A and B are shown apart, each in its own frame.
Chain A
Amino acid sequence: MSTTMQLLRTDWFGLLVAFLLGAIMLGVAQPSFLSTYNIYVILTAFALSVLVALSQMVIVAIGQLNLSVGAIGGLAAITFAGAMDLWNVPIPVAILIGLMVGVAGGALNGVVTHVTGLNAFVVTLATLSIFKGTNIGITEAQPFYDIPEAVKTFGNARFGFFPYLLFVSGAILVAVWVFMRRAVLGRQLLAVGGNRNAAELSGISIGRVVVAAHVLSGTLAAVAGMLAVARLQLGQPTIGDDWLIISFAAPVIGGAVLAGGHVSVGGTLLGVAIIMLINNALVLLNVNPYAVQLLLGALILAAVALSRFRDPA
């Protein structure tokens, strides 16, 4: 098989070409696309969204769906912000509390899914309501405003076009890539998603893997939520409400098989990048507001279809 054919069969190459073509076309149509500030804006949105996508991707890897990604992220966000605002806890402790919320939320999803044998779709639909209800109960729909300057500064600092937030997301992206490629547990996630019975017969503890995947998913969502607090400079109770579409679209564009067993960290990264590009283009090209949702949906669908066309199997 030629190198070109090998590249074409990867999850990421076609997406990379599509992204670059899109970026070039947008740069020609609207030169401000390539301005330092606009690239910073895109990378900032990317830094948050890629964690959301990875949070869903690890669940897709085991052949399940997690509807509560945004609700966990939102709960972690307001817990993180509230701990600093109401209790004046030091930032590292607040981060730890936020992470614990993510771990606990993910563990609840994983344990309930495994113990009851219910479909994760149903379980996370219910826990979505629990997490969101807890969020609203704590905040009464009011934001936490008193966020330490250090957090606000970090959320909006940049080197040229490179936001500091991307240091966190980039490090996690690499860690998840290594985890899925090299770690035993990462490979077990894919094994369980690919063929649950075969995985069980080969000695893999299904329950442990399912719970681990959900804990990882919850943790990633929690980090995304806390980064959103830093970026927005306040703990908005509605953080996470808007994550559902991108959480599914990016991994699927990136070549993930919803039935489980195959996901691509690189593909998911490019899936997020393409969605960011589409979002940015709709603003830069001053698309009629009534057409934005339609075009966004159509373009995401086109991206998904193209990724499937590349690999019809």
Chain B
Amino acid sequence: MKINRYTTVAAAALLLSAGVAQASDTKAALVPGGPHPYFAAWEGAAAAAAEDFDVEAEYEVPPAWELSQQNEMIESLVAQGYNAFLVFPGDASGTNATLGELKDFGIPSATLAGCTEAPTPALFCLGTDVYNSAYLGTQELIKAMGGSGNIAHFTGFLVDPNTQLRIDAVEKAASEHDGVEVIQVIADIDAPEPADEKINAFLAAQGDNVDGIVTTAWVPAVVAATSLRNLGDKRIKMVGIDHDQVVLDAIKDGYVHGTMLQNPYGQGYIGVYAMDLVRSGCTMKDDAPWMTTAQTDRFIDSGTAFVGADEVDNYQDAMVRVTDEIMADFKETYMNCPN
């Protein structure tokens, strides 16, 4: 039934668009897995890309973090004439089915910020090299701790395959230093109430025993920064992730050592650019310098950077720089284009 319904809406959309792919026809949808502040930068990226590349691009958020709701939203967008999709996979395997149906109807797609499991219909995956980001962040933390001490790692949902990569990266970074130990990993706390409860319970139990905190998910970073501020604790060093205002303010005030920026804006902007090129006849190069991750062998790193107190006022500059670098030779590096 699902396929039939899907077939109907896709066919209708294709009839509407007459199946002719031209650059000016590109109508791209950027669809996150659900509501989350991380993805908000996609909206501005879509608007900027729409203006710069003369295409239509919209950021559309499913009402909840459920694969079925994301799939229904994609179906609805197909019916509205969207003909290119940039998706954060609601499920690393499950999303492949939806992207496969899009492909069957000539609608290109790629994944942003997270990848689907290969083999996948997604043309590429553009996201943070989460392993590298967590590894570098932990190294920065260890440096701030003076090269030794106990670390706690607060991270996101275990169903997200990136979470295990982050856990491994933090362990790897810690294992490279004598006298550094990851004493506790608290996961599944990328929601405010459980993060508040568990992080504060940890600080109650281990506050005197921990020297550093590394967070690799948005909400735990915000909650941990708030907790350290509430406790007035500047002894415990912390490296967070992303650019929530609470974390940035805590860096300025000395409660947080720094944060590992990701590049959601660049993901959205470059993603729309790439989709427009694909719809204008370009194909992805097989011999491009693709990175290989646990999920895919067509990964492009959208960049990561550590931002400490010295850089926090101009934190966007680092990501603009990375985005410009990727854009400069993206077409030549990753695509075969006519002419």
Contact = CB atoms under 8 A, between A and B. Distances in A.
A binds B: yes
Interface of A: 30, 32-33, 35, 37-38, 40-42, 44-45, 48, 129, 132-133, 136, 139-143, 145, 156, 228, 231-234, 236-239, 241-243, 276, 279-280, 283-284, 286, 289-290, 292-293
Contacts of A228: 192-193
Contacts of A42: 201
Contacts of B35: 136, 139, 141, 237-238
Contacts of A234: 222, 246
Interface stretch (B23-31, B37-45, B328-336): B37-45
Contacts of A289: 158, 167, 185-188
A37 B64 contact: no
A33 B37 CA distance: 34
B204 A38 contact: yes
B3 interface: no
Given A32-B204, A136-B61, A141-B40, A283 B192 contact: no
Interface in B215-229: 219, 222-223, 226
Given A33-B205, A136-B61, A228-B193, A292 B188 contact: yes
Given A140-B43, A279-B197, A233 B202 contact: no
B230 interface: yes
B40 A142 contact: yes
B268 to A, nearest CB: 14
Contact of B63 (A30, A132, A156, A286): A132
Contact of B205 (A30, A133, A156, A236): A30
Contact of A48 (B63, B193, B223, B246): B193
Nearest to A231: B196
B174 to A, nearest CB: 16
B194 interface: yes
Nearest to B226: A233
Contacts of A292: 187-188
Contacts of A293: 158, 188
B37 A232 contact: no
8 contacts: A41-B201, A44-B200, A136-B63, A232-B226, A239-B193, A241-B191, A243-B193, A283-B205
Nearest to B34: A141
B292 interface: no
A289 to B, nearest CB: 4
B101 to A, nearest CB: 24
A223 B71 CA distance: 34
A156 to B, nearest CB: 5
A41 B37 contact: no
Contacts of B4: none
Interface residues of B, number: 40
A239 B194 CA distance: 10
B203 A37 contact: yes
Contacts of B22: none
If over half of A's interface residues share one DSSP class (helix, strand or loop), that class is named, otherwise mixed; here it is helix
Contacts of B37: 141-143
A116 B292 CA distance: 55
B198 interface: yes
Given A41-B201, A156-B230, A237-B35, 10 more contacts: A41-B200, A45-B193, A129-B64, A140-B40, A141-B36, A141-B37, A228-B192, A239-B192, A283-B186, A289-B167
Contacts of A156: 230
Contacts of A139: 35
Interface in B244-286: 244-246
B184 interface: yes
A140 B192 CA distance: 17
Contacts of B207: 37
A292 B200 CA distance: 17
B63 A140 contact: no
A85 to B, nearest CB: 12
Contacts of A243: 193
Contacts of B201: 38, 41-42, 279-280, 283-284
A231 B200 CA distance: 12
Given A41-B204, A239-B192, A293-B188, A232 B223 contact: yes
A218 B5 CA distance: 37
A292 B186 CA distance: 9
B70 to A, nearest CB: 13
A141 B39 contact: yes
Nearest to A128: B64
A228 B223 CA distance: 12
A280 B196 CA distance: 12
A90 B228 CA distance: 28
Contacts of B43: 140
